[in-house]
Chains A and B, each alone.
Chain A
Amino acid sequence: MHAVSTPAAAGVFILAVALAAGCAAPQISSLIERRPVGLPQTAEITAAPFFPQEDYQCGPASLAAALVHAGREATPESLLPQVYLPARKGSLQAEMLAAARRHRLVAYALAPRMEDLLRELAAGTPVLVLQNLALDWWPQWHYAVAIGYDLDARQIVLRSGVTRRLSMSLDTFEHTWARSGHWAMLALPADRLPATATESAYVSAVASLERIAPAAARQGYATALARWPRSLAAQIGLGNASYAMRDLTGAAAAYLRATSDHPESADAWNNLAQALHDQGSRAPALAAARRAVSLGGPRLPAYRETLDGILRAP
């Protein structure tokens, strides 16, 4: 954000980095000590695209690399109007996630763990990271794309700034990454599950996609259900995405599966009632709506409205 202007600032910076880089970083040290099962010693996605950044635009440049790797058409220029904030000379994390969704990709925020980051790299997915290259009180925020690592050499490989292949000490990287709160994201087509995905985080990422790309979200819920067949949120989400696409048959089928696996879910019964009602199946719709109302819960007023809507219909 600010150019390094004075030798004094640089001096302070060197001192601070000396303190930081001099000591090994906690997560990577423990990783190298325990060598988790299934984590290769080294990996590199050599085919990962690279867009050298211009001016302050490391956000659009890094995002373009991630999107192109996921099979979408994008350039830093095309992403500029989607993520760049002229007055802040940078890009917000939430908008980086949102822009990936605008390309019909699941934007998945990684857990703040070095092991997860490395596992995604080993699985062949570039990881977009936010680093604070300087200090908490003098931040230099920087987006880059991690594409590989070598545990024995204790190095991480990044597409960063104007450097196509930047090899950096894993310890130094962890310090700079920790100062951004260990923020990292993936952009994946909806038919590919992240290697480190958890049920709640993944389904929630797909739910955020549903708002602007229901067809992609429907695929994402199917991906989630292939891995967690009984996920209530994914079952209802599959129904909601189908409903948003006016596929009432698909929606009703998904809600039916949700009520059969989770008969205690009033939300599932309520949505089933609405889909059946829209299909013109009045009797089963009424039965489902009454079931939702009798189960109750914090959204009881909404269930009552659904029931009233069915009762009022001619």
Chain B
Amino acid sequence: MTGRFRRVVAALLIVCIGGIGAPLQVQAGIVSTDTVVAGAERERLTSLLERGDVSAQLRTLGVDPAMARDRVAALSDAEAAQLAAQLDGLPAGGSDFLTVALIVFLVLLLTDILGYTKIFPFTRPAATAK
């Protein structure tokens, strides 16, 4: 509860201080393209809060505050909403290259053994490849 409250306050402060997330093209009187595409009116305040929320989360994950602001500005409304709701649960692609190299080696070794590939000179296919 307190955490959530603090995040909302932080989000508000960020909005107030940085003026972030105020979509550049939102003008009085103009219906935005995002709205037309989505076919529904968006709560602009919600969107601002979400962007502030994402920015705060990026900073706790080690992103420089100035960078965090620019990164959030490049998100679409839908992406900002998704990250605000479930950033922790989303995959962050970034395997260590040694792990990747090892896994790829194991996969290729296995496909070699199964007869799908022939990369390593020392493998003998278990079955004849078609």
Tell me whether A and B are bound partners: yes
Is B128 part of the contact surface with A, judged by Cβ < 8 Å?
no
Cross-chain contact B104 with A244 (CB below 8 angstroms): no
A58 touches B31 (CB 8 A): no
Query: Could you say which residues of chain B place their CB within 8 Å of the CB of A271?
Result: 29-31
Q: In whole angstroms, what is the CA distance A305 to B28 when docked? A: 9
Least CB distance from A150 to B in Å reads 12
The answer, among B67, B92, B102, for a CB contact under 8 Å with A92, is B92
A residues within 8 A CB of B108?
A: 168
CB-based nearest A residue for B63: A85
Q: How far is the CB of A5 from chain B (nearest CB, A)?
A: 10
Q: Mark B83-108, 1 if CB is under 8 A from A, else 0.
A: 10001001111111111111110111
Quick one: CB contact mask for A95-138 with B, threshold 8 Å, 1 for yes? 11111011000000000000000000000000000101110000
Q: Is the CB of B30 within 8 A of A305?
A: no
Stretch of A27-35, A39-47, A49-57 at the chain-chain interface:
A49-57
* Closest CB in chain B relative to A2 CB, distance in Å: 7
Nearest CB in chain B to that of A234: its residue:
B33
Q: Min CB distance, A37 to chain B, in Å?
A: 25
Indicate whether B111 reaches chain A with its CB closer than 8 angstroms.
yes
| A residues near B82, Cβ cutoff 8 Å | 94
Bound-complex Cα distance A171 to B87 (A):
30
With A14-B106, A86-B62, A133-B100: A203-B37 Cβ-Cβ less than 8 Å: yes
Establish whether residues B93 and A141, one from each chain, have CB atoms under 8 Å apart when the complex forms.
yes
Question: Within 8 Å CB of B35, what residues of A?
Answer: 267, 299
With a cutoff of 8 Å between Cβ atoms, the chain A residues found around residue B62 in the complex are: 85-87
| A161, B83: Cβ atoms closer than 8 Å | no
- In the complex the two chains form, is B24's CB within 8 Å of A90's CB? no
Bound-complex Cα distance A227 to B123 (A): 51
Distance (whole angstroms) from the CB of A15 to the closest CB of chain B: 10
Cβ of B27 within 8 Å of any chain A Cβ, yes or no, is: yes
Write the nearest CB–CB distance from A225 to chain B, whole angstroms. Answer: 13
Kindly list chain A residues whose C-beta atoms are within 8 Å of the C-beta of B92.
1, 85, 88-92, 141
Which of B83, B98, B116 has most A Cβ within 10 Å? B116
B residues in contact with A14, CB < 8 Å = 106, 110
Say if the beta carbon of B75 comes within 8 Å of chain A: yes
A166 lies within 8 A of chain B by Cβ: yes
Complex contact A99–B114 (CB within 8 A): no
Give residues 13-31 of B contacting A (CB, 8 Å).
23-25, 27-31
* Pick from A93, A102, A207: contact of B90, CB under 8 Å: A93
**Known interface pairs A85-B58, A154-B116; A133-B25 also in contact (CB < 8 Å):** no
Residues of chain B having any CB pair with chain A under 8 Å: 23-25, 27-37, 40-41, 58, 60-64, 67, 70-71, 73-76, 79, 82-83, 87, 90-104, 106-108, 110-111, 114, 116-117
A-B contact pairs, 25 of them (CB 8 A): A1-B96, A4-B103, A17-B107, A18-B114, A21-B111, A58-B97, A81-B64, A83-B71, A84-B94, A92-B83, A97-B76, A133-B107, A139-B91, A168-B104, A169-B111, A200-B37, A208-B79, A211-B74, A237-B33, A237-B37, A240-B30, A241-B25, A267-B36, A270-B30, A306-B29
